Amino acid sequence: MQSFVLCPFMVVVLDKTKKSGSNIITVSYTGVLSECPPIIGLAIRPSRYSHQLIREAGEFSLNLPSVSLLEDLDFCGKYSGKKYDKVLLRNIKLEPSEVIRSPIITEAPINLECKIRDILYLSKNGSSHDYFIADIVVFHRAIDFIIEKSQSLITANYDYLQLGKNLGKAFNVCKRKKGG
């Protein structure tokens, strides 16, 4: 197995079949596609229950969990929303979004409200995932959230790790070689 490091997110989408009205899926295959306008992408297997929900809703919230949400993150990635109302079972607190219908996770320090721009059906050509491309229409950040002091998570080779140490500003860490 190759080594990889990813940032897991909790994606919330409307689910009218659930008493809570929402489903949460854990997604790590995400990426920034554009800064201006802000566009992100996330990859989801077509076999996942949330794939159809997100496709039909045309929107979702992307929530960066902190360590306090670790067990919820793990549960939402392990169990299918087809069988479980994960919001109710884990008592995950949601609140209304500003623009989209899908709610955001109250305890997550960063929440992105996203509207789907396009879907790349990569699975039609043998890929394991399809890629959802979405505009970030609203960005929420907890007032006290500081990335260097955060309880943010990453996954590395299926292990959960915590961020928290600033190693320097990007493009300013390397030393310029003499004569170069």
**Cα–Cα distance between 142 and 35 in angstroms, integer?**
21
Give residue 108's pLDDT band: very low, low, confident or very high (50, 70, 90): very high
* Total number of domains in the chain: 1
Tokens found for residue 170 = 């990007």
Residue 94 domain flag: yes
Residue 138 domain flag: yes
Q: Residue 29 maps to which CATH number?
A: 2.30.110.10
Question: What percent of the chain has a predicted confidence (pLDDT) above 70?
Answer: 83
Residue 174 domain flag: no
Domain interval for residue 16:
5-162
**Cα–Cα distance between 152 and 66 in angstroms, integer?**
5
Which is nearest to 32 in space by CA: 114, 130, 154, 151?
114
Give residue 156's pLDDT band: very low, low, confident or very high (50, 70, 90): confident
The answer to whether residues 127 and 44 touch, using CB atoms and an 8 Å cutoff, is no
Residue 43 domain flag: yes
Q: Give the pLDDT confidence of 51-106 residue by residue, as tens digits.
A: 999 999 999 999 998 888 989 999 999 999 999 999 999 999 999 999 999 999 99
The pTM for the full model equals 0.87
